[in-house]
Structure 1
């Protein structure tokens, strides 16, 4: 169809427009020469100045007549590198031939998704253990939110992955969290409220009578003038479970940009030291501190516990040094959303949705808390 000559140097492609393409628009001619790229993508590259004709930037409507020398700076789609190994440090708590337990820092996404195609835990795992290329989803069987820190288990073999998934489905994996919430909770309790998509915003979860069962047990560890330090245990592992359940108690997590409340911070009830500590805390105060499961090879129960994340330690110490005022005024929690939905950076709940319903069911108990 065309006698165009082509040479690729890195991402730069050099083309010669053949005579049989004469009279066509530049974008149409390029689509004939580069059928692997959509016309809209080629138009975007032309508009961005990534395409030159005889050394000059052109427009998509520019007519070509044959013989022109065209250079195209091909932009690789970011998802191309989603499953690429990257040398990212990992805080490994335990590892053998079958499983790996890692302490995920706040700020790290577990699995590549829109807006986070690289720099994820999955990329780091593939570098650390190249054999994970042969395990679906690089051995990931559950997850934590980007801004939640703490323990995750990863399967290093297919058999181990199947074993762990079955434990998650049977709800026998023990998961304990530490949380710092706004307000004063006065007794230990259980939140047994089903969770589903928020009908007003699909990027969020909400108490939903048509949702899936979700149970969170919480225990008060310390109570302060305007915050409470909690131990939370999951009986189920739904997306954003602890965050939504704490919101349901009108005791949202400190720092939660999605399930917090706009008018919540009781400035007058805090010292300047605590105000500073809160203002410098830029994530939800949630940490997966303990993990227990049956080892997939030995069938022995194993348990790991780590220290509280450093930033939560700092916040907790500031709270502990807060003097409780005798004349402290009660404060009401506003029910206004903390953020408008459009301000919420989507943390994809469908990370593992690959169209295989049976496969998706395996991960029905993964938490994204």
Structure 2
């Protein structure tokens, strides 16, 4: 490509970052230092000033991000284009390979769905859901999208709406502004701790049952286990949460069917129902919403039936 007159007098790395927005300036600077950029046939430095008419040749180096292999794992695709892939993640699907989960993950599934994702950091995954949390996730399919989504997440402009079934009756709405860090004694758990990373969750009660509540929760930050930790901090843990909800299934239920469903609910009752962001290429505001996960929806039906029975009896 050729530089234009309006580029004259500017640093080469600045000009390339403007012309190649899919790549970060630091990445472009590294390529220049590695000799992967030529300017009229010679190898420049990142700080070199350009005249504004040179021919630039860039030979990108796309790093390999691990030995994750493609696996034919079904994906529920809600939206896709050249830049984005939005999926509805099922319960039980781990996002990244890790100790105890070397494969069978979302990352393996993505590589099978689109092998070109191997060229992106973590195959385009820019945020995560816990293994047993269901619902919407967005994946970048281009470097432009990856940079944009990371920036939007950092700026807290990505809208993430959840449904959480909790024990008890919290007040109608509220904000939990409590820092989260590693639990001081439980290695696999997080906790509200002094000196933790800032964490903010907003919630509203959407339905009240006899001994439970269905909440809409909006994340303002994205800390590990944030909703689970914040709800437990309020003493309204999520139903079925094995890490933060000890005893949450054991609330007495009048209907045997409901009691069995609460005891047997196999995961934390949390679902990412809505997702909103700005399209990386078109700058169009986008929003997606999916139905509540079937197991959680069925449990809410049983809770509503019990609540109606109790009201009739009184």
TM-score by length of 1: 0.65
Deviations 1:261-294 (A, max 9, x none): 2376222x43212102112310000000000000
Deviations 1:299-324 (A, max 9, x none): 11100000000000110110010046
1:84 aligns with 2:101: no
Name the counterpart of 2:37.
none
Q: 1:135 aligns with which of 112, 116, 120?
A: 120
The alignment partner of 2:250 has SS state of coil
1:14-163 to structure 2, matched below 5 A, reads: 83-163=68-148
Shift of residue 87 of structure 1? 0.7
The alignment partner of 1:246 has SS state of helix
CA distance in 1, matches of 2:248, 2:236: 13
Judge conservation of contact 1:82–1:123 (CA < 8 Å) in 2. no
1:275-314 to structure 2, matched below 5 A, reads: 275-314=259-298
CA distance in 2, matches of 1:199, 1:283: 24
The alignment partner of 1:304 has SS state of strand
Judge conservation of contact 1:82–1:118 (CA < 8 Å) in 2. no
Q: 2:193 aligns with which of 176, 190, 208?
A: 208
Name the counterpart of 1:176.
161
Judge conservation of contact 1:82–1:117 (CA < 8 Å) in 2. no
- Count of residues paired in the alignment: 246
Structure 2 unaligned segments of length 5 or more: list them: 1-65
Shift of residue 82 of structure 1? 5.2
Name the counterpart of 2:3.
none
Deviations 1:88-119 (A, max 9, x none): 11000000001100000010000100111111
Instruction: Please report the RMSD computed on the Cα atoms of aligned residues, expressed in angstroms.
Output: 1.6
Residues 204 and 82 of structure 1: CA distance in aligned 2, closer, same or farther (over 3 Å):
farther
1:348-367 to structure 2, matched below 5 A, reads: none
1:300-339 to structure 2, matched below 5 A, reads: 300-323=284-307, 325=310
CA distance in 2, matches of 1:169, 1:145: 20
Deviations 1:219-277 (A, max 9, x none): 0011011110010000011000000000011100000000012376222x432121021
The alignment partner of 1:321 has SS state of helix
TM-score by length of 2: 0.76
Name the counterpart of 1:217.
202
Shift of residue 325 of structure 1? 4.0
CA distance in 2, matches of 1:306, 1:233: 15
Shift of residue 178 of structure 1? 0.3
CA distance in 1, matches of 2:292, 2:248: 28
CA distance in 2, matches of 1:270, 1:208: 37
CA distance in 2, matches of 1:263, 1:183: 9
CA distance in 2, matches of 1:168, 1:162: 10
Judge conservation of contact 1:226–1:266 (CA < 8 Å) in 2. yes
CA distance in 2, matches of 1:186, 1:131: 47
CA distance in 1, matches of 2:203, 2:283: 29
Q: 2:220 aligns with which of 235, 238, 241?
A: 235
1:266 aligns with 2:275: no
The alignment partner of 2:187 has SS state of strand
- Higher Cα radius of gyration: 1
Structure 1 unaligned segments of length 5 or more: list them: 1-80, 329-369
